[in-house]
Structure 1
């Protein structure tokens, strides 16, 4: 069973607009409302592909009640830890003309110490039966710095995947997690290194096993202590990239659940699922043509000790 942990969930609101113009008024059809947050998106993707999952997250207030109702309707197995603060919201505007998406995420409110303790207890109990533990997303401002290490420790004895940003990314590397999945900007922010490959190697030096470095439309790198690979499509896909990184994490989690830890296999599946997510209107889904996408990938191998990522022309 894949257990996903989302410490800062969101009620996702998505509208499709013909074209977004700054400062203008817009009209749209009724938007979509979905229980969101990175770990919930990971669970949705893995569940849809037939893998047993359990999504652990918090919920509070009126937005939390909506999140609970939508999650129950989705059929994704979950455990919700009640908190007093209202669940945050995330708003996405999909520009049909440009084929891109603008997102505004509320930061979220920090639960109390007792609420965090209850959350950690639930994660620990669920992780005991997990094949893979996935910890995804941000933490609310003011969350205790010990929380992430505690959650990672709950997964001791099984692969742990972390997809986060800021100091938490370094803390996850220090804890020796199996897989980290930063994007280029997150990696630079966390390590202070402009070269993403150097930044990925810093995470490996700290203790991470594999770094999946997301480059958006330019594909993805897999970086280990002795391998450096890049996967990309011949042409980038246009669509909604909101859940692309979460689909990549789901791919890694499902392969690790199946006993596959080969970096190239994980890179191929993660890149294909990430691209397939872009083709879907909402986060937490991948397009059924993902196998065709995987077959179309171009995978390059570079000398691990010397290669540096070049900016796209």
Structure 2
């Protein structure tokens, strides 16, 4: 099986508060608390494992929060390269009430620093392999430059890996400019990063920058694929799915990667990505799916088509 390396440049301890109703300016009683290792890349790794695909998790960690992530990954049996960071790993809090879209509070975290970046690049160069996959997912530490993002993409490409980047803002544009084989923003991130007024022009700009392919996630509306070779595909979302959408995009990435590892083409992988993303909506926290849901959701998507 092709090796999959997943880099989370800016990990976090993800805290989920379940409440009866989100109300600003008042004391809200928390009904349930969940704490877990998080960040988009770590979510991707966890879902990949539930799909039967092992992946190497690479991330900078610091302080007590970083140590808690280190322990959880070890307890879960996740192979990991943990880079020592000079700052405390951040925390994110999602407030979920099943009535409105979850509210997310994300700490800014600290910068990585030159030494940390050197270690991150070395980890990519040493662990990626020809025919394998490098997934770079999530936000980047404060102070990250477009050149640093591009160097991370270049490390994967030089090693012969297929590079997939799920990022936003200048990092997304930098990844496209560095020749990432695939960039996977959601529609809002794509429009913001490219300054485009519509989806098609935003996709065109990322392809012009140098991305091999663009997959734009549109939530319940599904996925759109466009490639530099002229390939264009649209994949509807699974109908009738409701729940907690936090982490659904990460699960979509994991479904896509799992399909590609299995030999699917990008257009073929879109369907699997949509199904796995829908399964994540049914899960209580990010980074989790119930594999038992996949067959039912796949059948529902086929009936809808």
Instruction: Work out whether the TM-score is over 0.5.
Output: yes
Aligned to 2:207: 204
CA distance in 1, matches of 2:238, 2:256: 22
Aligned to 2:186: 183
Write out aligned runs for 1:1-313 (5 A): 1-96=3-98, 98=99, 100-128=101-129, 131-156=132-157, 157-225=160-228, 226-233=230-237, 235-263=239-267, 265-288=268-291, 289-297=293-301
Q: How many Å apart are 1:210 and its aligned residue?
A: 2.0
More deviation, 147-156/125-134 = 125-134
**Change beyond 3 A, Cα 1:297–1:198:** farther
SS at match of 1:118: helix
CA RMSD, Structure 1 to Structure 2 (Å): 2.0
More deviation, 147-156/120-129 = 120-129
Structure 1 gap ranges (5+): 302-313
Q: How many Å apart are 1:212 and its aligned residue?
A: 1.3
**Change beyond 3 A, Cα 1:234–1:7:** closer
SS at match of 2:146: coil
CA distance in 2, matches of 1:74, 1:68: 10
TM-score by length of 2: 0.92
2:238–2:278 CA contact under 8 A, matched in 1? no
**Change beyond 3 A, Cα 1:9–1:87:** same
**Change beyond 3 A, Cα 1:294–1:205:** farther
Q: Deviations over 1:246-295 (max 9, x none)?
A: 111112212222222232x1211111111111110111112321232223
Q: How many Å apart are 1:4 and its aligned residue?
A: 0.1
TM-score by length of 1: 0.90
Structure 2 gap ranges (5+): none
**Change beyond 3 A, Cα 1:298–1:22:** farther
CA distance in 2, matches of 1:295, 1:238: 17
1:163–1:182 CA contact under 8 A, matched in 2? yes
